[in-house]
């Protein structure tokens, strides 16, 4: 029976106290809580009195699954030190939306209600503020001075965005969207913890390459880059510093963690970008579907269809993965093998021939896995063992593959060091 691989994101099980103040953007906090919960983050809500005029506490209670806190004192309050208990529970206090008023109070240490009191009980680094206010209030020198003071104290300020405002004006002061805030929260947890790959430098290639024939045509393949991008994200989630060298794809740069994306088109450009970044690299992952051949003579003008048949001469591209593995001091090197048949035989052959530490093989040419699909199934081989990662979403498969990479990297580096 296959051993279950357990993987956890670094923000799973973290506790966020969400402070909601009196702005129209309070409605966005409903989606914010749902998205935080979807990422495995627990949320407890504190509302100011003004916030309850915009959305009822009942709404947030239902969404967060926890009682909403609105008062310091009163019959509902079970403990005289509830503010301290909330501060102790919180890994992060996020105020979203944050009005000019709460921003001023946090900056000046005023504690005249539950939210401002909990803010004062936390250290600056564990505080984040997503401003939401009218353009004029945002631009007011008092607010700007408060924001700059909070910034220099190391308090996280996320936003605001520019755009249409509830008051009908256009300009800066809108609260950033819930999805963006969640990315900031995840980044906060990834960047503030010692994680298994903290301090490790990783280079990963992804997507197809495009080999030009003439100024308007090229040859390429069906790779979407989804597996490589999911892996880049999973590696960064574990604290790695990731250089993602990407062929042409229609994906946005993964948003969480330390990822630099370098975009290239051809195999030769991909090789150059890899070798520009390979010094000091601990782990190299080659997920890119690099074209094996490029056009020998790229026409500088569009080719005309004057002949009935035509020939294009191709020359072999460098094997980027093979060249990385052949370095004097190679990083821990992981290859991919996309095969239509004889998966195990070809994958093991590549593992040996290219002197890789690991190879992840998948069958392509079937509709629900591999190229351009959201799902994948991988058979992972290394020198004396293998594991099958059953068909699942690529982001889940990526987490599991990173888990195996970390185990094998640890095992092989301990062997090297002893």
Among 176, 232, 283, 290, binds ligand C5P (CB under 6 A): 290
131 near ligand C5P, rule: CB under 6 A: no
Report in angstroms the alpha-carbon separations of 1 from 214, 223, 387, 393: 53, 32, 11, 21
Among 147, 182, 202, 288, binds ligand C5P (CB under 6 A): 288
91 near ligand C5P, rule: CB under 6 A: no
336 near ligand C5P, rule: CB under 6 A: yes
- How far apart (Å, rounded) are the C-alpha atoms in residues 128 and 125? 8
State the catalytic residue, choosing from 167, 216, 326, 411.
167
CB of 206 to ligand C5P, least distance (A): 9
232 near ligand C5P, rule: CB under 6 A: no
Q: What is the DSSP letter of 314?
A: E
Both tokens of residue 54? 């915009």
Q: What is the DSSP letter of 69?
A: B
CB of 303 to ligand C5P, least distance (A): 25
- How far apart (Å, rounded) are the C-alpha atoms in residues 211 and 292? 10
Contact 128, 155 (CB under 8 A): yes
244 near ligand C5P, rule: CB under 6 A: no
If the CB atoms of residues 9 and 369 are measured against ligand C5P, the closer one turns out to be 369
If the CB atoms of residues 155 and 320 are measured against ligand C5P, the closer one turns out to be 320
Strands (E), 218-274: 218-219, 241-246, 258-263
Contact 17, 46 (CB under 8 A): yes
Given its phi and psi angles, is residue 15 left (phi above 0), alpha (psi -120 to 50 degrees) or beta?
beta
Both tokens of residue 361? 């093989």
398 near ligand C5P, rule: CB under 6 A: no
317 near ligand C5P, rule: CB under 6 A: yes
CB of 317 to ligand C5P, least distance (A): 5
Among 97, 257, 331, 335, binds ligand C5P (CB under 6 A): 335
229 near ligand C5P, rule: CB under 6 A: no
Contact 323, 337 (CB under 8 A): no
Contact 43, 33 (CB under 8 A): yes
167 catalytically annotated: yes
SS3 of residue 395 by DSSP: helix
Contact 350, 321 (CB under 8 A): no
92 class by beta-carbon count within 10 Å (0-12 exposed, 13-18 middle, 19+ buried): buried
Q: Could you give the string, one character per residue 189-228, with x where binding to ligand C5P holds by CB under 6 A and - elsewhere?
A: ----------------x-----------------------
Q: Could you give the string, one character per residue 35-74, with x where binding to ligand C5P holds by CB under 6 A and - elsewhere?
A: ----------------------------------------
321 near ligand C5P, rule: CB under 6 A: yes
Binding site for ligand C5P (CB under 6 A): 205, 267, 286-288, 290, 292, 317, 319-321, 335-337, 350
Catalytic center residues: 167
């Amino acid at each position: 029976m296959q051993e279950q691989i357990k993987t956890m994101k670094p923000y799973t099980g973290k506790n966020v106290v969400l402070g909601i103040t009196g702005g129209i953007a309070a409605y966005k906090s409903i989606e914010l809580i749902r998205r935080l919960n979807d990422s495995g983050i627990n949320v407890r809500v504190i509302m100011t009195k003004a916030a309850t005029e915009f959305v009822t506490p009942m709404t947030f209670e239902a969404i967060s699954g926890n009682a909403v806190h609105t008062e310091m004192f009163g019959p509902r309050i079970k403990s005289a030190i509830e503010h301290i208990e909330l501060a102790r529970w919180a890994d992060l206090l996020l105020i979203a939306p944050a009005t000019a008023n709460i921003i001023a109070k946090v900056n000046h240490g005023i504690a005249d209600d539950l939210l401002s009191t909990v803010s004062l009980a936390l250290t600056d680094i564990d505080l984040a503020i997503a401003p939401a206010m009218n353009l004029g209030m945002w631009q007011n020198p008092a607010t700007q001075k408060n924001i700059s003071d909070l910034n220099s104290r190391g308090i996280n300020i996320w936003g605001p965005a520019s755009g249409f405002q509830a008051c009908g004006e256009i300009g800066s002061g809108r609260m950033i969207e819930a999805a963006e805030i969640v990315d900031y929260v995840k980044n906060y947890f990834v960047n503030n913890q010692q994680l298994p790959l903290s301090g490790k430098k990783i280079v990963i290639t992804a997507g197809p390459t495009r080999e030009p024939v003439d100024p308007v045509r090229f040859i390429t393949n069906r790779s979407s880059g989804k597996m490589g991008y999911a892996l880049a994200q999973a590696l960064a989630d574990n604290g790695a510093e990731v250089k993602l060298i990407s062929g042409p794809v229609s994906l946005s740069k993964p948003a969480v963690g330390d990822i630099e994306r370098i975009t290239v088109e051809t195999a030769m450009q991909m090789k150059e970008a890899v070798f520009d970044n390979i010094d000091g690299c601990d782990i190299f992952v080659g997920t890119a579907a690099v074209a094996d051949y490029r056009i020998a003579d790229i026409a500088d003008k569009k080719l005309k269809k004057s002949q009935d048949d035509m020939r294009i001469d191709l020359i072999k591209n460098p094997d980027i993965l093979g060249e990385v593995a052949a370095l004097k001091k190679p990083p821990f090197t992981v290859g991919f093998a996309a095969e239509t048949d004889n998966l195990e035989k070809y994958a093991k052959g590549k593992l040996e021939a290219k002197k890789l530490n690991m190879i992840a093989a998948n069958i392509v040419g079937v509709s629900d896995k591999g190229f351009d699909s959201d799902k994948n199934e991988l058979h992972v081989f290394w020198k004396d063992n293998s594991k099958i990662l059953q068909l699942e979403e690529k982001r889940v498969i990526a987490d599991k593959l990173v888990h195996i990479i970390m185990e094998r990297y640890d095992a092989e580096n301990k062997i090297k060091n002893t």
